[in-house]
Homo-oligomer: A and B are copies of this chain.
Amino acid sequence: MSKNGLLYQRIAHNIEHQIQHEVLRVGDKLPSIRMICREHGVSMSTALQAYYDLESKGLIESRPQSGYYVTYSHKFFPAMPETSNPVYHADASGTDGLVAKVYAELGRETNLTFSLGVPAPELLPVAKLNKTMINAMRLLPAGGTSYEQVQGNSKLRQQIARWSFSWEGHLRESDLLTTAGCMNALAYSLMALTERGDQIVVESPVYFGVLQLARSLGLQVLELPTHAITGIDLEALKKTLQTKKIKACLLVSNFSNPLGSCMPDEHKREAVRLMETHGVPLIEDDLYGDVYFGQHRPKSCKTYDESGIVLWCGSVSKTLAPGYRVGWVAPGRFKEQVIRTKLYHSVSSTTLTQEAIASFLETGRYESHLRKLRHTLHTNSLQYLRAIGEYFPEETRVSRPEGGFLLWLELPKQIDTIKLYETALKFKISIAPGRMFTLQNQYNHCIRLSYGLLWNEQVERALKLLGNLARKMF
């Protein structure tokens, strides 16, 4: 990061902080550019950059011949959802049909897909990735046509280990195993740890892919209450571990899917302590951790893992290239089992894409790409929140994630979001109905919206339309 970059961001962050804490309120005039220059001892262009930054997030606006004014108040934003209170293990009814339907629609390119938790292709560094891939072909023996070792590309594991210092992880290359994306890491972990009939614990609402995987492995899934800011309810987790035979716990610690929750450090530490006490492995899905909107990357549960009870999983599918299928797991004390599972099911991972991603990390391109991506997504999330507050029924509650790609909306109870999904589809808009994120009969009035798309008028119009459709159903 250039010095200049750091400066303008620091200034913008200070002002943002004051707006969030209502030191500056809607309508307040901001210091002039000239004053910013004097106060912070920075150049005109740095000061302007800070204001552009705040403007792009919808926090302030420039009024011609007058200056900059605060336009944002979090009071204007919809309320947050309360801690979920999921049905406890009633008759588990599958959602395969619904999920399959939503997935099938994704193939049609005319849709505006709010239903996919990935960045739009326009947000990805495609040209740079292509270059890196061509280099990988030149560098690798036999152009990358040979089998990779089972544990995975050693340079890639080295880079992920280096990267783990950003969340105080202190991993070593030998701790890691590469996989074909993060779901694949979760699959190998669950297969290595569980048998048909075992019980596992997850958040609620929870990513439907986890539910499908668990069911296909014959596992019983306990969905626990979860808060939209702090994640899984630790009291509920503790009680469950004390009273039931749990084989594994699977949590998305940072910017969960779909709730967007991020466990505070203390919760992470406590969760790991609970797991150790009860001897239950924690599969930590940390695939959104690098997409934080704050100053620092949040830590992982793995940060607090001293006994190797955490299997930390990640990928570049949410930040660089979903189609490369590059993910990984640091399986702690379960390493040998997970490596064997990978070997038996797929021999090795794709040689070329691993090498390309390794180089991308090694050369620092990943970091500079992430910086832009985070900024765009943060801005997007604020724009979405504003639009939802404007267009959706007043009672709508919305999560306020500090990272990731996803908003969780609780609409008024009367609204059946499967019907909303079907109606929206006629307008070529795809959303993910809440019922997908549970095995129980609940969340029927919720939806998950992805803000991974480029923000533009078309998106604003689509959100307005969605809001109107919801109002009509109310």
* A interface list, Cβ under 8 A from B: 96, 103, 107, 118, 121, 124, 126-127, 129-130, 133-134, 137-138, 141-150, 180-181, 183-184, 187, 191, 195-196, 209, 212-213, 216, 218, 320-325, 340-341, 343-353
Give the chain B neighbours of A107 by CB distance below 8 A.
149
Q: How far is the CB of A286 from chain B (nearest CB, A)?
A: 17
Asked whether, in the complex, the Cβ of B187 is within 8 Å of the Cβ of A345, the reply is yes
User: Number of copies of this chain in the oligomer?
Assistant: 2
Nearest CB in chain B: distance from A425 CB, A: 18
Nearest chain B residue, comparing its CB with the CB of A322:
B147
A323: which of B103, B195, B351 is its contact (CB, 8 Å)?
A: B351
Residues of B within 8 A of A144 (CB): 321, 323-324
Q: Given the complex, which residues of B lie within 8 Å of A143, measured CB to CB?
A: 126-127, 129-130
Centre residue among A124, A150, A320, A350 by max chain B CB count within 10 A: A350
Cα A121 to Cα B143 with chains together (Å): 9
The 3 closest A-B pairs by CB, nearest first: A323-B351, A121-B142, A145-B321
Residue of B nearest to A185 (CB): B346
Residues of B near A146 (CB, < 8 A) are 121, 322-323
CA distance A137 to B352 in the complex (A): 13
Contact partner, A346, options B133, B145, B150, B187, Cβ 8 Å: B187
- The residue from B149, B212, B346 contacting A181, defined by CB atoms under 8 A apart: B346
Query: Which B residues are CB-close (under 8 A) to A216?
Result: 191, 340-341, 344-345
Q: A341 — nearest CB in chain B belongs to which residue?
A: B216
Chain B proximity of A70: nearest CB distance (Å): 38
Q: State which of B130, B142, B184, B353 has its C-beta within 8 Å of the C-beta of A126.
A: B142
Verify A352–B340 contact, CB threshold 8 A: no
A212: chain B residues at CB < 8 Å are 340, 343-344
Give which listed residue, B187, B218, B324, B346, contacts A180 with CB less than 8 A. Answer: B346
